[in-house]
Structure 1
Amino acid sequence: MIKPLPSHRSLVILLCAGMLLVGCANQSEQNRNAPPPQKTAAASENSVDEANLRSQANRGDLDSQFQLASLYFVGKPHKDLKQAEYWWKLAADKGHAMAAVSLAYLYTGRDNPDFNNPQLMLKYLNQSAAGGNPMAQHILGNLYLKGAQGVPRDPIQAKALFQSACQQRYAASCEALNKAP
């Protein structure tokens, strides 16, 4: 049996479909051979900055360790609380007061309950306050004022901590002193 020739309309549809398939195949091949998309200038600059920061942190620079931990905490390049904890702990254990108060916050477990550790929270909060950090002094003052988080109620100690923070122009502590009896 002899098959009839396709009609003119069928032939046009077959040709169009063939051209479409060839075009798609060509496009796919071009995409495979295309270079990867370029990072934006800002993203490229940020990765260079992060690499420099990591290099300084690895050499023991406390401020770089603190900053790198803070980047991990806020999610740049990506949120990683274990990395934040690691770098803050390195800096805090060598006396960096802001790293210690940041670590104390991490150990409240507010961002992730897996990090809740009241003993370490108080350790690093006290360390930071003793290092002169007015934020830590204010937070610790509030804990003494209320008798919270395992800290005994001690209004005299609270007032002393608020006074120290206020002398460093920590406004919330100055307000707390004004409200104190």
Structure 2
Amino acid sequence: MPLPAHRLLPALLCATLLLGGCAGKPTEQQAGNPTQQPAQPIVSNAAEADLRSKANRGDLDSQFQLGSLYFVGQPAKDLKQAEHWWKLAADKGHAMAAVSLAYLYTGRDNPDFNNPEQMLKYLNQSAAGGNPMAQHILGNLYLRGTQGVALDPNQAKRLFESACRQNYTASCSALENMH
């Protein structure tokens, strides 16, 4: 049984964030197979209309989900729309919208969106809001001293510990590797 849209979108975003640039280029097999069937829509037109209505009324989860739909290409990939909806939700404290916006601002999907200052702003906001994925990503930045973040293994450890307490497995593994 397929996941409902409200659970599928966060899963897709998590996978996108964790894979980073790995999924950016099609393999030879994908590029050479023009007869592949198009992907099935994630949500119906009626469900999208309902989601848009809730998002326009200020529902943060709906704003996040609508931004996610635009990000993955339903109805059509539109990163400006994804940014718009995620920003509305993130600026009101939606932690997953903030981490999604942080990813968008890495510029991995489109270099026009590369904005390191905004990436760190939203990543920090999401991590401070308790999002374990954001804590893990930020912990890695502190561990490596990259992306405008100072090298600080102690801060990395604190972030990994917080994410691990929330059962974020990658952070638990990172902690084990630090010892």
Q: TM-score, normalising length from structure 2?
A: 0.76
SS of the residue aligned with 1:152?
coil
Q: CA deviation at 1:84?
A: 0.1
Long gaps (5+) in structure 1: 1-41
Q: Counterparts of 1:120 and 1:57 in 2: how far apart (Å)?
A: 23
Letter in 2 for 1:115: F
> Is residue 177 from structure 1 mapped to residue 168 from structure 2 by the alignment?
no
Partner deviation per Cα, 1:8-46 (whole Å, 9 max, x = no partner): xxxxxxxxxxxxxxxxxxxxxxxxxxxxxxxxxx87x70
Q: CA deviation at 1:60?
A: 0.1
Runs ≥4 residues deviating over 3 A: none
| Match of residue 166 from structure 1 | 164
Q: CA deviation at 1:178?
A: 0.6
Over the aligned positions, Cα root-mean-square deviation in angstroms equals 1.1
Q: Counterparts of 1:155 and 1:75 in 2: how far apart (Å)?
A: 38
Q: Counterparts of 1:119 and 1:76 in 2: how far apart (Å)?
A: 28
Q: Counterparts of 1:143 and 1:85 in 2: how far apart (Å)?
A: 23
2:82 maps to which of 81, 84, 94: 84
SS of the residue aligned with 1:95?
coil
Q: CA deviation at 1:154?
A: 0.1
1:59 maps to which of 54, 57, 60: 57
Q: CA deviation at 1:147?
A: 0.2
Q: CA deviation at 1:128?
A: 0.1
| Match of residue 128 from structure 1 | 126
Q: CA deviation at 1:170?
A: 0.1
Q: TM-score, normalising length from structure 1?
A: 0.75
| Corresponding residue pairs, total | 139
Q: Counterparts of 2:136 and 2:76 in 1: how far apart (Å)?
A: 30
Letter in 1 for 2:109: D
SS of the residue aligned with 1:78?
coil
SS of the residue aligned with 2:44?
helix
- Identity across the alignment (%): 78
| Match of residue 48 from structure 2 | 50
Letter in 1 for 2:111: P
Q: Counterparts of 1:141 and 1:106 in 2: how far apart (Å)?
A: 19
Q: CA deviation at 1:140?
A: 0.1
2:95 maps to which of 94, 97, 106: 97
Partner deviation per Cα, 1:141-175 (whole Å, 9 max, x = no partner): 00000000000000000000000000000000000
1:115 maps to which of 113, 116, 133: 113
Q: CA deviation at 1:82?
A: 0.2
Q: CA deviation at 1:51?
A: 0.1
> Is residue 141 from structure 1 mapped to residue 139 from structure 2 by the alignment?
yes
Q: CA deviation at 1:70?
A: 0.1
Greater radius of gyration (CA): 1
Long gaps (5+) in structure 2: 1-39
| Match of residue 39 from structure 1 | none
